[in-house]
Structure 1
Amino acid sequence: MIDQLRIEIQGFEQFGQDIEPLLWEVDGLRQDLLQLDVEDVRRPTAGPSPPGARSSALEQVNALLVTLTAVPALLHQVVAVVEKWRGRTSGGPPPDIIVKLGDQTLEIRGGDPEQQRLLTTEFFAACAAAQQRGAWDG
């Protein structure tokens, strides 16, 4: 079974409209994720923005799509890589990260480490339950 995990990175306001440093940071995460046994890691693609809308280019820069073939095993590894990467980003406070798999969402933010650990554990359990129900069968 192949599933797609979406990773959204928020909180890079310190870069302003200059997306080059943001691209460099997110490319570092992409390279880290490619070291795992994942099928693919790429940026999402989007069509042109509607008139008057904010540029989709900046919105696409801060996201990655990770294609997984073995969700339970790889999901733990992906989240661990994301958390490690988050701790070493440069240019300000660590970014907030949103990880989405199917209908399940995990927000990785600063704050109480014990609370974050509990949220992560709940996310893994919810993803495992959804997979057992066949919620992501393609």
Structure 2
Amino acid sequence: MDTALQIHVGADGNGEDLAELITMLRNELLQLDVDEVRPLRTAPPPAGSRAEWGIDPAGLVVVADRSIDILSRIVGSLRAWRERADPRPAIRLEIDGDVVEISDVSAEQADQTLKYFLQRHAALREQT
């Protein structure tokens, strides 16, 4: 069974900088053993509208196997990407309504927060 990890990147600067950050992150995530990396959709269009779903320019959805090993690799890649970015962007991760946000924290604090996030999902995977 697959899971969808939503990633939202918050970055200072202009839209071109953000687009470049998202493209680099997407390319890195595609190197992993994931099924898909796609743009994050926003709310559906108003009733009667001809428009498609909107796209969040600062977001991605990673669809992958539910294994904690794959999730760990995705989060590890995201953490390494964030550490290389200058300035370091804030990130928001969500899986099945469980959200973690990392912004102005040290690398050690970010690592600890992501570790707990992974541990919660490892426990959930074992229950299913």
- After TM superposition, the score normalised by the length of structure 1 is 0.76
Aligned mates of 1:89, 1:104 — CA distance in 2: 25
1:79 and 2:79 matched: no
Count of residue correspondences: 122
* CA RMSD in angstroms, aligned pairs only: 2.2
Aligned mates of 2:68, 2:21 — CA distance in 1: 26
User: CA 1:31–1:131 in 2, change beyond 3 Å: closer, same or farther?
Assistant: same
Matches within 5 A, 1:121-132: 121-132=115-126
Aligned mates of 2:80, 2:111 — CA distance in 1: 14
Q: CA deviation at 1:116?
A: 2.5
* Kept after mapping to 1: 8 A contact 2:90/2:103: yes
Stretches of structure 1 lacking an aligned partner (at least 5 in a row): 51-55
Stretches of structure 2 lacking an aligned partner (at least 5 in a row): 48-52
User: CA 1:116–1:22 in 2, change beyond 3 Å: closer, same or farther?
Assistant: closer
Aligned mates of 1:21, 1:113 — CA distance in 2: 22
Aligned mates of 1:49, 1:84 — CA distance in 2: 38
Runs of 4+ in structure 1 displaced over 6 angstroms? none
Q: CA deviation at 1:84?
A: 1.3
Aligned mates of 2:12, 2:110 — CA distance in 1: 23
